[in-house]
């Protein structure tokens, strides 16, 4: 989760050039797909030129929390 400042979300074209897709700001989240699906392939790259403050959730902490919720909640997530 972004706590301070913003990040650019970009995709890399076949020629190697990055194109900007959007800007994410405080309160936005990224990387959740990797946590939920266990996929390591990225769909985009996030870049901050100003430096930003992020809240990072490690996979083991996320999985521990997920194991403590009921089946319906896990299904919804």
Q: Which of 47, 45, 49, 48 is nearest to 11 (CA)?
A: 45
Question: How many domains are contained in the chain?
Answer: 1
The three-state secondary structure class of 6 is coil
Using CB atoms within 10 A of its CB, is residue 38 exposed (0-12), middle (13-18) or buried (19+)? exposed
For the chain, what is the mean pLDDT? 86
> pLDDT tens-digit profile of 2-57?
999 999 999 999 999 999 999 999 999 998 888 878 777 777 889 997 889 999 98
The whole-number pLDDT of residue 68 equals 78
Tell me if the pTM is above 0.85: no
Q: Which domain holds residue 66?
A: 2-76
């Amino acid at each position: 989760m972004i706590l301070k400042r913003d990040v650019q979300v970009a995709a890399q074209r076949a020629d190697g050039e990055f194109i900007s897709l959007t800007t994410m700001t405080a309160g936005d989240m990224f990387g959740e797909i990797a946590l939920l699906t266990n996929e390591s392939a990225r769909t985009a790259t996030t870049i901050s030129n100003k430096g930003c403050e992020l809240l990072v959730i490690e996979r083991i902490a996320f999985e521990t929390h997920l194991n403590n919720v009921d089946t319906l909640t896990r299904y919804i997530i």
